[in-house]
């Protein structure tokens, strides 16, 4: 009935998440409110992990991309699932460290890591630093030398695959700020320099071809291209690359019309490609890493809002204004992303109208969505926007000096606060 399987309707006709009435959550914690279902998060981690066990003999690791959604409690949950973590800034790494995350399972990303970030990553003993460019490689070599340590690195490669078209092409994508291009020989030169470095250990290569991808074919193609590169490094440099990181990007269902491939099928098919390509190329099967973010966090989350104004503009549209907006969910203004919405206290009724859900920022484009099927919504109703667990809280801002909403975790009928609601005092915390 709803896009995410953890959503249901109870006897009162109210939307539930993880067995809890969302209207009760809105009353208890206030609105706007992010709600994350711990069971969904854990299930997604386990599905990815068991797929690697089943289809690739367990020779791989899932690293949750924490840019999708991070806070101490999320890091604790991910750590307790025994999987790894992808971080992309000092803040994400600090959060993981403070949550007690096993740093040997952390990969540090970023196309422009600062010296401070590189030093902190080396100090923390992160499992991998995914090197994006030559300047970073040289700075890391120096930092590792100064700290008398050896940094385990992967090189971020642009495999030349455009995953956003069905008819993906192999030659584009040089125009990206991330990583080394294969076609120009830049990637090979980087590998050569990395092998010559004394304080870095080139253990792997990495690619990430995009996000919210429904097809498996571009992932298979990327794996082939990357294995070809591993074979080239072995042939020409005599250096064995033992790890292949294929990034994240697995699509999820935001609308009922969306039909992403199940991630088990992705792991099955990519494992098959890796096995057969390795035989063909005469190279050892690498340890595989994947970095799902959205597919672990998004379906687990919803955002609850309270309706303020209802504005009908005859012949044009109906605006339903809520007490949040682009500050807590900037994805419509950025990407025109689509979401399913439900009036939580009327969840068993028909979605009889098509409305525009508007936020409260001083910005016309501050919308949660347009043309959204919705039950008749009036002032005081609670609206749930579904599948907001990824790239909502993590991309939230204080535009208009609006305090950020809290995050509540639910688990089989129980709820607990994970991130407190910001207050006006928090807004001026760093002002002097």
* Residue ranges binding ligand LLP (CB under 6 A): 65, 67-68, 86, 109, 208, 211-212, 247-250, 291-295, 331, 335, 391
Q: Quick one: DSSP state of residue 16?
A: E
CA angle 61, 208, 302 (to 5 degrees): 80
Judged by beta carbon, residue 345 or residue 388, the one nearer ligand LLP is 388
Q: Residue 371 CB, nearest distance to ligand LLP (Å)?
A: 20
The per-residue DSSP string of 101-137 comes to --GGGEEE--SS--HHHHHHHHHHT-SEEEE-SHHHH
CB 357 within 8 A of CB 339: no
Decide if 152 contacts 194 (C-beta within 8 A): no
Residue 257 in tokens: 């019309």
Q: How many residues make up the chain in this entry?
A: 432
Catalytic site includes residue 386: no
What residues contact 79, with CB distance under 8 A and at least 6 apart?
85, 96, 99, 100, 101, 102
Contact 2, 386 (CB under 8 A): yes
Smaller CB separation from ligand LLP, 208 or 346: 208
Q: Of 107 and 405, which CB lies nearer to ligand LLP in the complex structure? A: 107
Strand runs labelled E in 281-324: 287-290, 301-313, 317-322
**Based on CB atoms, which residue is closest to ligand LLP, 94 or 335?**
335
| Least distance to ligand LLP, CB of residue 296, Å | 8
Of residues 388 and 415, the one with the C-beta less far from ligand LLP: 388
Question: Could you identify the residue written with the tokens 């969910």?
Answer: 329
Closest alpha carbon to 374 in 404, 397, 349: 349
The residue among 255 and 281 lying less far from ligand LLP, judged by its C-beta, is: 255
Provide the phi-psi class of 21: left if phi over 0, else alpha when psi is between -120 and 50, else beta. beta
Q: What is the layout of strands, in order, in the sheet containing 7-9?
A: 7-9, 15-17, 20-21
Catalytic choice (45, 197, 361, 362): 362
The residues carrying an active-site annotation are 362
């Amino acid at each position: 009935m709803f896009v995410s399987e953890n959503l249901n309707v109870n006897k009162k006709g109210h939307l539930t998440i993880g067995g809890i009435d969302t209207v009760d959550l809105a009353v208890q914690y206030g609105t706007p409110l992010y709600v994350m279902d711990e069971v969904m998060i854990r299930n997604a981690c386990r599905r990815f992990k068991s797929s690697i066990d089943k289809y690739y003999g367990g020779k791989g690791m899932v690293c949750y991309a924490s840019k999708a959604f991070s806070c101490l409690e999320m890091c604790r949950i991910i750590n307790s699932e025994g999987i790894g973590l992808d971080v992309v800034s000092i803040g994400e790494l600090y959060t993981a460290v403070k949550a007690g995350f096993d740093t040997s399972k952390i990969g540090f990303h970023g196309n422009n890591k600062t010296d401070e970030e590189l030093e902190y990553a080396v100090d923390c003993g992160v499992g991998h630093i995914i090197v994006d460019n030559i300047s970073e490689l040289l700075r890391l070599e120096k930092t590792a030398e100064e700290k008398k340590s050896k940094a385990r690195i992967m090189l971020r490669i642009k495999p030349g695959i455009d995953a956003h078209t069905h008819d993906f092409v192999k030659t584009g994508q040089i125009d990206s700020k991330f990583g080394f291009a294969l076609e120009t020989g830049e990637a090979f030169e980087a590998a050569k320099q990395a092998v010559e470095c004394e304080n870095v250990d080139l253990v792997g290569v990495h690619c990430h071809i995009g996000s919210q991808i429904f097809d498996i074919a571009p992932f298979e193609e990327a794996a082939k291209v990357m294995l070809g590169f591993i074979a080239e490094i072995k042939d020409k440099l005599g250096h064995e690359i033992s790890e292949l990181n294929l990034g994240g990007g697995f699509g999820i269902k935001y609308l009922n019309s969306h039909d992403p491939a199940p991630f088990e099928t992705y792991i099955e098919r990519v494992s098959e490609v890796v096995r057969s390509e390795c035989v063909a190329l005469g190279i050892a099967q690498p340890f595989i890493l994947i970095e799902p973010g959205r597919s672990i966090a998004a379906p687990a989350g919803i955002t609850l809002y309270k309706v303020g104004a209802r504005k009908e503009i005859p012949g044009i549209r109906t605006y339903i204004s809520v007490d949040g907006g682009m500050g807590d969910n900037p994805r419509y203004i950025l990407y025109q992303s689509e979401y399913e919405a439900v009036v939580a206290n009327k969840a068993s009724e028909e979605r009889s109208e098509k409305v525009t859900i508007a936020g409260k920022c001083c910005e016309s484009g501050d919308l949660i969505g347009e043309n959204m099927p919705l039950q008749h919504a009036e002032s005081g109703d609670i609206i749930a926007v579904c599948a907001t667990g990824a790239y909502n809280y993590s991309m939230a801002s204080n535009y208009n000096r609006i305090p950020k909403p809290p995050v509540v975790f639910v688990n089989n009928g129980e709820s607990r606060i994970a991130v407190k609601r910001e207050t006006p005092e928090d807004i001026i915390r760093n002002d002097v």
